[in-house]
């Protein structure tokens, strides 16, 4: 569904290749560790799913155009995470990250499997870069966002060598 599982599997495979020490190292105080990046993915997925659910329950139907969300992995354009979606250090081990990501994905799949495609296409809320996006595109965005941060994880580990 929306390529979420294939993209997530790449993140999980990478996390599973790291030791807790590798995953917790930071190249400098202003850079997130791999565990912090994973926590951001967990927080972001939960935020998006809550917004999708809230929008369906109380939002107005708004038709939007398709946005080029497939460009999300391009890290040449820096985007700062909103304060509430920044990691707080809750993941201490790779296992913590894997379990958190499993929980957020279960919630995502539960919500999406119980919604009609037409519903996801006819409601929207704004994205800070792409503007108004349909709920369907928001669901797909989760995977593209994860690929963006998978590259960041790899860069972080490389910088720590």
Backbone angles phi, psi at 68, to 5 degrees: -80, 60
pLDDT band at 27 (very low <50, low <70, confident <90, very high): very high
What pLDDT shows up at residue 77?
Answer: 86
Going by pLDDT thresholds of 50, 70 and 90, the confidence category of residue 62 is confident
Q: Which residues pair with 133 in a beta bridge?
A: 125
Q: How far apart, in whole angstroms, are the C-alpha atoms of residue 60 and residue 124?
A: 8
Spatial distance between the Cα atoms of 122 and 129, rounded to a whole number of angstroms = 20
* Phi, psi torsion values for 21, nearest 5 degrees: -65, -45
Burial class (CB within 10 angstroms; exposed 0-12, middle 13-18, buried 19+) of 20: middle
- Torsion angle of C-alpha atoms 132, 135, 137, 139, degrees rounded to 10: 140
What's the confidence (pLDDT) of residue 78?
87
Answer yes or no: is pLDDT of 33 > 90: yes
pLDDT tens track for 2-22: 889 999 999 999 999 999 999
SS3 category, 100: helix
Q: What is the mean pLDDT of the chain?
A: 94
Are the beta carbons of 62 and 124 closer than 8 angstroms? Answer: yes
| Full-model pTM | 0.95
Helix intervals (H) in 25-134: 34-58, 94-113, 117-122
- 97 to 15, 76, 157: CA distances (angstroms): 8, 26, 16
Radius of gyration of the chain (CA): 16
């Amino acid at each position: 569904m929306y390529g979420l599982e294939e993209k997530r599997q790449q993140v999980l495979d990478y996390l599973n290749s790291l030791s807790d020490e590798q995953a917790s190292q930071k190249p400098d105080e202003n850079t997130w560790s791999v565990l912090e990046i994973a926590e951001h993915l967990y927080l972001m997925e939960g935020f998006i799913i809550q917004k999708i659910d809230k929008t369906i329950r109380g939002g107005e139907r708004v038709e939007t155009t398709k946005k080029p969300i497939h460009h999300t992995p391009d890290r040449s354009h820096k985007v700062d995470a909103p304060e509430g979606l920044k990691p707080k250090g809750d993941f201490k081990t790779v296992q913590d990250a894997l379990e958190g990501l499993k929980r957020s994905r279960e919630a995502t799949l539960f919500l999406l499997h119980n919604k009609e495609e037409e519903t996801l296409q006819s409601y929207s809320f704004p994205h800070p870069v792409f503007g108004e996006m349909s709920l369907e595109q928001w669901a797909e965005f989760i995977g593209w966002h994860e690929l963006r941060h998978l590259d960041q994880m790899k860069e972080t580990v490389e910088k720590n060598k």
